[in-house]
Amino acid sequence: MDEILEILENDARLTPEEIAKMVKKPVAKVKSLIKQYEKDGIILKYKTVINKEMLHEERSGVRALIEVKVVPQKDVGFDYLAERIYRFPEVASCYLVSGSYDLLLIIEGKDIHTVSSFVAEKLAPMENVRGTVTHFLLKKYKEDRQILKRAERAKRPAISF
């Protein structure tokens, strides 16, 4: 992968000027390459990783990993069904994987009921879906190569009698 892309993948906040110094290229060339990567769809989006546990919000929604077993369709394989599935707004990510199931989905919902309704009412009834297994994410320790620090909990003094 291009050195500029590696730098941006690690820290998208760096300016073209900072990147140019790192790769020893003219700033204009770095700006031009970044614009071309965006135009070509190589750079799709810039992302911020947020440690939601640190926000101290009571509810920040739930995420689930869903294993999906499907029957591939003639002439289109897994692609047609994967496209139908990833177009649902609840689907944050969709991957074709090897192993005992075919697709791995990352689903986001406001609560467990939202996710379970998605599986029961939209995903499982789809033609060519042969089975699903849902895993709710309980805690994140690391995301996008970033270790997530835990929120400090209020320390209460021990009371003994």
Residues 68 and 114 in one domain: yes
Q: Are residues 119 and 76 in the same domain?
A: yes
- 112 & 80 share domain: yes
Six-digit token string for 159: 């009371």
Domain containing 113: what range? Answer: 60-138
Structure tokens at 69: 């077993």
Specify whether 81 is located in the same domain as 22.
no
Token pair recorded at residue 150: 């835990």
In this structure, the answer to whether residues 35 and 90 fall within a common structural domain is no
Contact 61, 115 (CB under 8 A): no
Q: What is the pLDDT of residue 152?
A: 64
* Torsion angle in degrees (nearest 10) through CA of 56, 59, 60, 65: 130
- Structural domains counted in the chain: 2
**Tens-digit pLDDT profile for the chain (161 aa)?**
899 999 999 899 999 999 999 999 999 999 999 999 999 999 999 988 878 777 776 667 899 999 999 999 888 899 999 999 999 999 999 999 999 999 999 999 999 999 999 999 999 999 999 999 999 999 888 888 888 887 666 666 667 66
**CB burial readout 23-47, b (16+ within 10 A) else e:** eebeeeebeebbeebeeeeebeeee
Same domain, 68 and 105: yes
Question: Closest by alpha carbon to 68, among 56, 76, 78?
Answer: 78
d(CA 30, CA 5): 10
Question: Token pair of 4, please?
Answer: 């500029």
Total-model pTM: 0.77
Question: For residues 35 and 42, is the Cβ–Cβ distance under 8 A?
Answer: no
> At residue 62, what are phi and psi to the nearest 5 degrees?
-125, 155
